[in-house]
Amino acid sequence: MTNPLPLVGLPADTYENHGFLFHSLGDKYVRALAEVSNVLPVMIPSMIDILNLDALLDHFDGVLMTGAVSNVHPPHYGEKASVDHEPYDHRRDDTTLKVIRAVIDRGIPLFCICRGFQELNVVMGGSLETELQRGSGRLDHRAPSSDDINVRYAPSHSVAITAGGMLERIIGKSQTQVNSIHRQGIKVLGEGLNVEAVAPDGIVEAVSVKGAASFAFGTQWHPEFRAAENPDSTKLFNAFGDAVRAHYRSRRQVSYGKSAVA
């Protein structure tokens, strides 16, 4: 009998179509988890007003926050909403901002990508800047205009990796090339976050949570895209998978210990 695989939750995006509300996940995120991290991905519906968050998280040994077309609603980080900040997904905001806080507090492994990376910064008290390409000396961090996903997700610029940080330990490099598919980024870094990598124009590209009990890390770029074919991405998803399995083993030991005492 094979050992059961641990569950990793992914909060969903929401959209309306023909009067009905849908919850969705991108295939590249669940595929990277299943194929590289070797865990079981499970959707968390963005309906936190109905779900019991504590009961829900009792089932998971990891959470991955995905990227999305939508952006975090600016009032969540003290800014006034404008057309430049759109589009929004309020149901996702309501769910993910609570989930991230609870996951960090419980020491559950957490991997945040793109929008998820920005959500992590907001949860930690930071703020976001929109339309980065308009800033003086800034790179254009938006994806190239192309119908070919290989062009849109191709390596776009380098990042300098913080010496002695979590990212350097995982991928073993002082710099690497990443894709770039965003127009917003970190404005003020959230308290309790370590900068793990920066772009040539100074935009923060990766962070970790200071003093986290487990893997708590985020990237502005998209390592999930064909993760099995990219050595850096493979190392990141392997590290996350290892942390998830360690949490799973620890949780089972605690459960068995309590049963033995009982």
Enumerate the active-site residues.
Answer: 114, 222, 224
**Which residue's entry shows tokens 């309306």?**
16
User: Angle between the 115-123 and 90-106 helix axes, to the nearest 10 degrees?
Assistant: 60
157 SS3 class = strand
In sign, the C-alpha dihedral spanning 230, 235, 238, 244 is negative
Buried b (16+ CB within 10 A) or exposed e, 148-157: eeeebbeebb
Contact 187, 141 (CB under 8 A): no
Q: What is the DSSP letter of 226?
A: T
201 SS3 class = coil
Kind of pairing, strands 7-11 and 40-44?
parallel
163 SS3 class = coil
Identity of the residue numbered 198: V
